[in-house]
Structure 1
Amino acid sequence: MTTLYLVRHGIKVKEIGDVPLSANGLEQAKLTASLLEDKSIKHVYASPLRRAKETAQCIASPHALPVLEDDRLRERANWGDLAGQTFQEFVDMWNRCSRDREYVPPVGDSAQRAGERLDAFAKEVSKVHANDEIVAVTHGAIITDFMINCLSLDELNQLHPRFLEMQSQLIPECSITVIQVNDRGYQLQRFADVRHL
């Protein structure tokens, strides 16, 4: 059985594009690294976006591990990927994706497809690194997209009674969601845990 720690990146600088962590985000990443330091982490993966890679580097450093980039961990869409898009236009696009999981925005992936990417990643690394503990630093929406794809509505509503409606607010920065992966599928161990922050 493989243990997968899904970590949302820390708080980012509030600007357009592929932005770094803010000072608060870097502190969150260090606290997350401290919590995971005594775990037997064998591999650290990250979304190619800068805020995720910086968070992953903090986590990987105590284990002397490289950060392995994987495009499947990238967010649905990133503000700045579509030239000329205002922030409000981005938010409207984002909300439409959350409501209509099949909607393919002009840039990025549908919520359904984003969840499928993370599902494919989890299945692959659990086979390649069977029985290891693995960290994947990614983004909030792709974590909930994955969960909506792979868990039942009853399971989701046990985590929050209005999971689908509230999904965009359920994964705080540097929260840790722990999933065990085996031949039978996924077993959720912890959801959006922020006790270390």
Structure 2
Amino acid sequence: MKKLYIVRHCEAEGQEQEAPLTPTGRKQAEALADFLEPLNIDRIVSSPFLRALQSIEPLAIRIDEQMYLDDRLAERKLCDREIDDWLEKLKASFEDMDICLEGGESSNEAMDRVVEALEESIRTKDEHIVFVLHGNIMALLLKHFDPSFGFKEWKQLSNPDVFEVQLENGNASVSRIWNKR
């Protein structure tokens, strides 16, 4: 049985690619490492965004595991410019997965790329794999496994957050494990 740990990054100073973790986020990263360390992690795959890397770095150091960077785990680009009603547009993109705003990507496009990255890692010999990513792309990945996962569930995600996906005989079971500490 493969176990995948889908991890949302810790609290960050912003949404830009180079936004670092806040001081609270750094403490959260240590708590995240405490939480994940006993799970026998074989592989760490991370978004290249700084906040994702800083969130998982304490674990990687503790277990002496290389971090593989994968651009396909980067946050979804909703639009190429700031929009005042972005929350309503995001909600609409969960209802119609093909909506694509100017310069952005649809939910289906984003889901396809993150699922491709996940499937590639699943084909490795590794049994316990951590994927570190961002809220919107995380929600879309979880929606791949559970079609009922949507905007409401996205709004309930925390920083950090951890879901466990157990894969066995082509079946997946998903559970949120971070709040069950």
Q: Per the shorter chain, which TM-score range?
A: 0.7 to 0.9
Q: Following TM superposition, by how much is the alpha carbon of 1:104 offset from its aligned partner in structure 2, in angstroms?
A: 2.0
Match of 2:99 in 1: 103
Contact 1:4/1:180 (CA < 8 Å) preserved in 2?
A: yes
Distance of 1:128 and 1:17 partners within structure 2: 28
* Gap regions ≥5 residues in structure 1: 157-162
Q: Following TM superposition, by how much is the alpha carbon of 1:40 offset from its aligned partner in structure 2, in angstroms?
A: 1.0
Distance of 2:15 and 2:129 partners within structure 1: 30
2:120 to 103, 124, 143: 124
Match of 1:160 in 2: none
Distance of 1:5 and 1:44 partners within structure 2: 9
* Secondary structure of 1:11's aligned partner: coil
Residue 72 and residue 129 in structure 1: after superposition, are their counterparts in 2 closer, same or farther (change >3 A)?
A: farther
Distance of 2:15 and 2:100 partners within structure 1: 24
Scaled by the length of structure 2, what TM-score is found?
A: 0.86
Moved more, 106-115 or 25-34: 106-115
Residue 168 and residue 129 in structure 1: after superposition, are their counterparts in 2 closer, same or farther (change >3 A)?
A: same
Query: 2:179 is matched by which residue type in structure 1?
Result: V
Q: Following TM superposition, by how much is the alpha carbon of 1:146 offset from its aligned partner in structure 2, in angstroms?
A: 1.9
Residue 117 and residue 178 in structure 1: after superposition, are their counterparts in 2 closer, same or farther (change >3 A)?
A: same
Scaled by the length of structure 1, what TM-score is found?
A: 0.80
Match of 2:25 in 1: 25
* Secondary structure of 1:136's aligned partner: strand
Contact 1:6/1:176 (CA < 8 Å) preserved in 2?
A: yes
Q: How many pairs align? A: 181
Q: Following TM superposition, by how much is the alpha carbon of 1:25 offset from its aligned partner in structure 2, in angstroms?
A: 1.2
Residue 107 and residue 96 in structure 1: after superposition, are their counterparts in 2 closer, same or farther (change >3 A)?
A: farther
Match of 1:159 in 2: none
Distance of 2:15 and 2:98 partners within structure 1: 28
Alpha-carbon RMSD:
2.3
Matched, 1:138 2:119: no
Distance of 1:93 and 1:106 partners within structure 2: 12
Distance of 2:48 and 2:89 partners within structure 1: 22
Contact 2:17/2:50 (CA < 8 Å) preserved in 1?
A: no
Moved more, 138-147 or 98-107: 98-107
Q: Following TM superposition, by how much is the alpha carbon of 1:169 offset from its aligned partner in structure 2, in angstroms?
A: 0.9
* Secondary structure of 1:118's aligned partner: helix
Within-5 A mapping of 1:12-91: 12-14=12-14, 16-77=16-77, 82=80, 85-86=81-82, 88=84, 90-91=86-87
Match of 1:186 in 2: 172
